[in-house]
Structure formats: structure tokens, C-alpha cells
Structure 1
Amino acid sequence: MRFLTRRLVMPNDLNYAFSLFGGRLLQWIDEEAAIYAICQLETNCLVTKHIGEISFESPALQGDIVEFGLATKAVGRTSISVSCLVRNKATKKTICLADDIVFVKVDPETRLPVPHGKTMEVLEQQTAEEIGKLNIDV
């Protein structure tokens, strides 16, 4: 799982208990997972089809930096399934796990599913090449 982005928990992100509001976190997860899927499939014509099991493990508080780890679980003919782990940057403690987020490529005019032409093997090779170009140790 690669941790690709981070967000700072701000006062307007909090619930009545002064911790990160679950709805805000779900919004962030959907957005981050969509960006990940768009980059993987190299198309922005994707829609969220399904978000499966979501497990909130620990709170995030104002001032915490949360980071989003994303990984491809499966690739279908028109879809991609992604896992997202959200953790506290400082403590590495898991905040939330969204284990099955499914995006489907759609035709921009008809909004019907269309093949994206990728396989898990192609995505793994694409990711390895992308990491190689970054000049960082993984």
C-alpha cells in the first residue's frame, strides 16, 4: 500500500465531540480513491459504484495530519476495486479502513459502463515504472 496524500484536520472538519467527522472522512476517502483510480486507469470518466466495508478504528483530532494509503484490490473489465487505509501520520495508528471501493469507467455521453483495457498485471508494471521515475526508495 502506498501512502500518497495527506490532509490536516481543521476546525471545520470536526464533529460535536471535537474529532474528525466521519462524513468528512468518507468524502476525503471517496475523493482520494477516485484520484488514485483515475491515475491507475488513465481516465477521468469514472463513477463510484460501491463502497463496501468501512471500519472506523480511532479518532483524528484537530491538528492531526492524516495520510491515505491506497492499493488496487482487483481489476474487472469496466471496473477497478481499491482499498484505502487512513492513518495518523505521526503515530501511524489506523483511523479508518475502507476495504472495497469500486469505480466503473463510463462513456461520457451515454453514462454506460465501457471497458478500460487494463489488467492487474498492466497496472503493476505501470506502478513500478512510475515509482522508478520518482528516484525514491520504496
Structure 2
Amino acid sequence: MEILDILPANFGYVILTYFYSWVMLTYLGVNVGRARKKYDVKYPTMYSDKDDVFNCIQRAHQNTLEVYPQWLVFQTIAALVYPTAAAVLGVIWVTSRFSYAWGYYTGNPAKRMNGVYGYIGLFGVIILSLSVALQLLGVI
């Protein structure tokens, strides 16, 4: 039996969502690298004592990295049973991380809330993952 025989037919959409998330992480990381040069923040220093805009750019990336492993796990579990819904929710979450970052990049941390709609995607895949667990346990 091959992997293509095991995964749901629409799992390809989920894989494309993973690729989209890679593009997002790369974008955020490159922006931190550019900001390091612009604001003269040398490695291994994580944050600037002088410039809050750099700190906002760094935090946008760091916060995304803090949530990313959890999102990947729940995205994958949800996608095994609900691939199309998981892909849509994943696109919502990934897109929200751009909005979150662009708001943060203004230097006004409150504007990071432009990405708050991403909780729809995150909580959506968490709920779907819970549904998968309950189905496997025969509860539903």
C-alpha cells in the first residue's frame, strides 16, 4: 500500500497549505534579517535596547514560531479526516500571520491585533482534531 492510497484525496490541499506556511515563515525570517541590518542589531542579540520597531519585527516572527509547532500538529490531525476544512482553516491561520506581522511592523504593538482572525483557523483545527480523537475513541 502506498501513501497515496492512505491519505484522503484532498490532502493535497493541506500540503499546499504547509507550503504556504513555509513561504510565510521565510518572509517573516527575512524581514528580521533585514531589520537586524537596518537597526544594527548583531547576533546573537535577540532584542534591541534602542529600537522598539526592531523588537516588534522580531516579536512578530518569534510569536509565530512559538505557535507554529502546535498549529502543525493540529492541522495534520484535522486534515487526516477533514482535509478540505483543515486546508481552508490553515489558509486562514497562515494569512492572519501576515496581517499580524504587518500590524506589528508599524511599531505599535496594538496593531498586531489585525491578525486576530487567525484564531478562527487555529481553534478550528483544534476542534476538528478533538473530533478526530473522539471518533477514534468511539465516543462520537
Which structure has the larger Rg? 2
Fold shared by both chains (TM-score > 0.5): no
Which has the larger strand fraction?
1
Task: Output the TM-score relative to the length of structure 2.
Answer: 0.26
Which has the larger helix fraction?
2
